[in-house]
């Protein structure tokens, strides 16, 4: 009889992002001899899980951001420590920076619990503009070394942890985010109830949180020139703090009839699969989930060659078009296009005009997407869990 292995998965919420989706997929698809339980810091849940998450019930309040984070951090440590004492999992795995700190601190004196932390972004880019970055870098370097294993989502992130945060290579395991290809294909076939997608006009689509990291204002500025050269429309799926700013850029460029914001969509794949081109405009990533999903839908892709992930996913441009990353400047609508934006204009027009090129990248991209199929990722996680359990023995 196989002994059950109890795994706790600690994450801020179960909604919205790539790390949250990984937690959801792991809870649903790990082998049945793994008893898995998601634990969330907050009550926010939109993704499914095998069992209802246990919430530490850390509520947002009116305190300033850093005070809220500090209070949430301390409360999280106290509540998660109690939970570990009550349930005694074999493995405690966390996904995001705050979760990771809580996980490491609460398990540091527990030899019976193996600690796994994950990195789903470029930490150096995420915190580079913060005045606290030198302190954060030291904290990450000091704390992450205490974990039993660190899972990263791309080789680029692994290199960053080694070079910038001085983490030992033997602590790090690269596991690509699990992508449920069969589910994407099924959802992609659903009908779209949107008049734009029934018109005989090419659709350019972008999907991602509306944040600085995703760089959508560069795409909008480039699109203003693209549509002057060929009829097309731009659809952006996602929500975030830059939504009003991006809408203002659209208005100032007089694009309100050619750019549509669809917000967060439960099934984005039906839109992606019916678009002519998917464009990833990100300034930085770790392993862009949306890029792989678009390829799984059979939609040809153009992506910035940002750190990290696109070059790895597209195999240096064999599976989709890579363009230089943008300069990150919040240009006004009237400013001339940057060199990088002009390159995006040219590459997009080339792809819109060349049906054979679109067909090639559609086939090649879909073939590459299967590399990231959920079965491959799940097997790698299970291999890691067995290594951790054997170290306990």
Tokens of 193: 């109830």
- Please check whether residue 212 is in contact with residue 242, taking contact to mean a CB–CB distance below 8 angstroms: yes
Does the fold of domain 181-371 match that of domain 5-178+373-392? yes
pLDDT string in tens for the chain (393-residue length): 468 999 999 999 998 778 999 999 999 999 999 999 999 999 999 899 999 999 999 877 656 566 667 888 899 999 999 999 999 999 999 999 999 999 999 999 898 999 999 999 899 988 888 888 899 899 999 999 999 999 999 999 999 999 999 999 999 999 999 999 999 999 999 999 888 988 889 999 999 999 999 999 999 999 999 999 999 999 999 999 999 999 999 999 999 999 999 998 989 999 999 999 999 999 999 999 899 999 999 999 999 999 999 999 999 999 999 999 999 899 888 899 999 999 999 999 999 999 999 999 999 999 999 999 999 999 999 999 999 999 876
Distance of CA 62 to the CA centre of its chain: 28
Domain ranges of the chain: 5-178+373-392, 181-371
| Closest to 204 measured CA to CA, from 367, 360, 321, 305 | 321
The 10s digit of each residue's pLDDT in 17-44 is 789 999 999 999 999 999 999 999 999 9
Calpha distance 351→339 (Å, rounded): 19
Please list, residue by residue across 248-276, b when 16 or more beta carbons sit within 10 angstroms of its beta carbon and e when fewer do: ebbeebebeebbbbbeeeeebbbbbbbbb
pTM: 0.87
Dihedral angle of Cα 103, 150, 392, 110, to the nearest 10 degrees: -20
Of the CATH numbers 3.40.50.1860, 3.40.50.10320, 3.40.50.300, 3.40.50.2000, which one belongs to the domain with range 181-371?
3.40.50.2000
The 10s digit of each residue's pLDDT in 204-216 is 999 999 999 999 9
Calpha distance 372→201 (Å, rounded): 31
Calpha distance 235→260 (Å, rounded): 5
Compute the Cα dihedral for 201, 203, 204, 210 and give only its sign: positive
Compute the Cα dihedral for 118, 311, 159, 215 and give only its sign: negative
CATH topology of domain 5-178+373-392: Rossmann fold (3.40.50)
Calpha distance 393→374 (Å, rounded): 29
| Closest to 175 measured CA to CA, from 345, 385, 350, 7 | 385
The 10s digit of each residue's pLDDT in 154-207 is 999 999 999 999 999 999 999 999 999 999 999 999 999 888 988 889 999 999
DSSP helix/strand/coil, 35: strand
Calpha distance 142→4 (Å, rounded): 32
């Amino acid at each position: 009889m196989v002994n059950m292995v109890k795994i706790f998965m600690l994450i801020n919420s179960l909604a919205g992002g790539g790390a949250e989706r990984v937690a959801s997929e792991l809870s649903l698809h790990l082998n049945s001899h793994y008893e898995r339980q998601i634990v969330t810091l907050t009550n926010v849940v939109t993704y499914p899980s095998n069992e209802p998450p246990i919430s530490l019930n850390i509520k947002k309040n009116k305190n300033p951001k850093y005070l809220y984070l500090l209070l949430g951090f301390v409360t999280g440590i106290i509540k998660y420590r109690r939970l570990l004492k009550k349930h005694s999992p074999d493995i405690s795995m966390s996904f995001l920076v705050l979760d990771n700190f809580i996980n490491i601190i609460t398990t540091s004196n527990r030899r019976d619990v193996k600690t796994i932390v994950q990195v789903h972004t470029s930490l150096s880019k995420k915190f580079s503009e913060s005045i606290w970055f030198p302190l954060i870098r030291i904290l990450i370097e000091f704390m992450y070394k205490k974990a039993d294993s660190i899972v990263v989502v791309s080789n680029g992130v692994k290199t960053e942890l080694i070079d910038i945060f001085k983490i030992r290579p033997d602590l790090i395991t690269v596991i690509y985010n699990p992508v449920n290809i069969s589910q994407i294909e099924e959802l992609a076939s659903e009908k779209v109830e949107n008049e734009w997608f029934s018109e005989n006009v090419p659709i350019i689509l972008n999907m991602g949180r509306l944040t600085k990291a995703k760089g959508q204002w560069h795409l909008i500025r480039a699109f203003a020139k693209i549509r002057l050269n060929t009829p097309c429309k731009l659809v952006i799926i996602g929500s975030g703090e830059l939504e009003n700013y991006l809408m203002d850029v659209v208005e100032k460029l007089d694009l309100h009839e050619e750019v549509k914001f669809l917000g967060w969509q439960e099934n984005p794949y039906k839109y992606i699969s019916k678009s002519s081109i998917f464009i990833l405009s990100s300034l930085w990533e770790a392993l862009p989930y949306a890029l792989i999903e678009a390829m799984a839908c059979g939609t040809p892709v153009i992506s910035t060659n940002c750190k990290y992930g696109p070059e790895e996913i597209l195999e240096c441009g064999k599976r989709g078009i890579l363009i230089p990353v943008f300069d990150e400047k919040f240009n006004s609508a009237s400013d001339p296009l940057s060199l990088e934006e002009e390159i995006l204009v040219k590459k997009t027009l080339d792809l819109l005009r060349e049906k054979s090129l679109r067909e090639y990248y559609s086939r090649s991209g879909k073939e590459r997407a299967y590399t990231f199929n959920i079965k491959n990722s799940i097997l790698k996680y299970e291999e890691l869990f067995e290594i951790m359990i054997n170290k306990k023995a």
